[in-house]
Amino acid sequence: MPEVVVALILLMIVASLVAIETPNLLYSVVSVGAVGFLLSIVFLFLAAPDLAITQIAVEVITLVLLLRATAGARHEPASDNRSFFSATVAVAMVVVLAIFSVRMFAEFPEFGQPVIDRFADAPSNTYLRDGLEKTGAANIVTAVLLDFRAYDTLGEATVLFCAVLGAQTILRKKARKQPDEADEEVES
Amino acid sequence: MNQPRSSEGMSLIVKTVCGWLKGFILLYGIHIILYGHLTPGGGFAGGAVAASAFVLVMLAEGEQTGLKTFSRKAASTWRSAGALLFLGIAGLGLVLTGTFFANFWTGNESGGFGSSIQACELGIGMLVCSSLYLVIVTAVPAIKKQERPVKGEAP
């Protein structure tokens, strides 16, 4: 199983490189979509179907939005002259991040060995053991999301609510007093 | 909805396939929302799937038909209703047991139908579905205004 995951991740890296390097904006967007769909398959192989469903549905909507935004957009290539200073800073940041990552990954447990195995009194063990009779939900992910960690879900829902509210407020076409559905034609 | 509008939307093939598919996609989303406590999924996943059904209608049959199917005002109402349902279940826990977000209605232990978790999922599903739909509905006219002569579909 990990070989399949590694192969999928390599494909994702290739797709993201294509997305960065291709001169065509449409190809770039399609490559970004490919990364998202491959990520969904990776979630499936890592036994996280909840995440896979969410990822694929959100990816479709994001792709639609990106395609709409980039179709017919004028292609202006980014200027190629980077200053020596910013390039040096970027490389230095990557090196520092790599050093920290090596230290951090050394602390990671083996693939497929959950961290909660090390700690017998971790709260996660309680969730897994008593989740069904305490919440009545057979899907432990939902039980954690909406019972043990419901405040997090409330925060997520609030973020989504406020983000869409803000987008609606900023991007609306007319002032408030116009009727809402009568003027869907976009006047330029 | 069945009379083809040649002026907007995509071709007849796309419209026909969309007409067959939209109900199934919406039903799948509702199933994911309602059975999220038993099978993989839940409010966020199911809401996103249901929103993609409405987005499909809007893309295939044009904005007018899409907004006739699920108008902005209806989406705003559903979004607020979902958020209020979620908060209401949380507040009901406060009223009944003294703890905010207390699980006061666990249903039967085999994970049957009807529990506070399921009600929360329904609220989140309504919120996510109408929010994602509103993102598309709000952003696409703003994009179109910038790119007036361009149609959304590549020729």
Looking at residue B85, its pLDDT comes to 92
Looking at the predicted structure, is the pLDDT value of residue A46 above 70? yes
Distance CA B54, CA B60 (A): 10
Residue A180: predicted pLDDT: 52
User: What angle, 0 to 180 degrees and rounded to 10, lies between the N-to-C axes of helices A49-70 and A25-45?
Assistant: 180
- Tens-of-pLDDT digits for all 155 residues of chain B? 455 544 677 888 989 999 899 999 999 999 999 888 888 888 899 999 999 999 999 888 888 888 888 888 999 999 999 999 999 988 888 888 888 888 777 766 555 677 788 888 999 999 999 999 998 888 877 777 766 554 444 44
Q: What integer pLDDT is reported at residue A80 of this predicted model?
A: 66
Kindly report the pTM of this predicted structure: 0.81
Q: What is the pLDDT of residue A90?
A: 92
* A54 contacts B40? CB cut-off 8 A: no
The last residue of one of the domains, among A46, A72, A98, is: A72
Contact between B138 and A147 using a beta-carbon 8 Å cutoff? no
* A168 domain-assigned: yes
Which pLDDT score is estimated for A105?
86
Last residue of a domain, one of A72, A100, A125: A72
Distances (CA, A) of B67 to A54, B62, B93, B138: 24, 9, 37, 11
Pairwise CB contact (< 8 Å): A136 & B115:
yes
Q: Which structural domain, as residue segments, surrounds residue A127?
A: 113-173
Query: What residues contact residue B63 under an 8 Å CB cut-off, 6+ apart?
Result: A184, B8, B140, B141
C-alpha to C-alpha distance for B44 and A152, rounded to whole angstroms: 13
Q: How many angstroms separate the CA atoms of A133 and B150, rounded? A: 57
d(CA A35, CA B61): 28
Report the pLDDT value the prediction gives residue B127, as an integer from 0 to 100: 94
- Please say which residue of A49, A72, A95 terminates a domain: A72
Instruction: Look over chain A and give the mean of its residue pLDDT values, rounded to a whole number.
Output: 84
Q: How far is CA B28 from the centre of its chain?
A: 11
Q: What's the pLDDT tens digit per position in A161-174?
A: 999 999 888 887 66
Interface test with B, best of A70, A141, A164 (most B CBs within 10 A): A164
- Contact across the interface for A138 and B142, Cβ inside 8 Å: no
ipTM: 0.81
- For residue B144, the chain A residues in CB contact (below 8 A) are 186
Is A151 in Cβ contact with B117 (below 8 Å)? no
Amino acid A181: pLDDT = 52
The runs of H, that is alpha helices, within chain A are: 2-21, 25-45, 49-70, 84-106, 123-135, 140-143, 150-171
Say how many domains are in chain A.
2
Interval A112-136: pLDDT, tens: 777 777 777 888 888 888 877 777 7
A103 is a domain residue: no
In the DSSP assignment, the letter for residue A78 is: P
Residue A54 within a domain:
yes
Distance (Å, rounded) from C-alpha B104 to C-alpha B102? 6
Tell me what the mean pLDDT of segment A68-74 comes to. 75
pLDDT of amino acid A145: 86
Q: Among positive and negative, which fits the CA dihedral B18, B130, A164, A179? A: positive
Contact B129, B29 (CB under 8 A): yes
A68 and A117 fall within a common domain: no
Q: Please report whether residue A128 resides in a domain.
A: yes
How far, in Å, are A58, A114, B66 from residue A78 at the CA level? 29, 44, 37
Within-domain flag for A81: no
Q: Is A171 on the interface with B (CB under 8 A)?
A: yes
For position B154, what pLDDT does the model report? 46
Cα separation, A144 vs A126, whole angstroms: 11
Q: Is the pLDDT of residue A55 over 90?
A: yes
Q: Tell me if A180 is assigned to some domain.
A: no
In a domain, A156, yes or no: yes
Mean pLDDT of A2-28: 91
Q: What is the pLDDT of residue B110?
A: 58
Percent of chain A with pLDDT over 90: 37
Q: Name the 3-class secondary structure at A2.
A: helix
In this prediction, residue B148 carries a pLDDT of: 55
Residues 15-54 of A with CB under 8 A from B: 26, 49-50, 52-54
Is residue A158 in some structural domain? yes
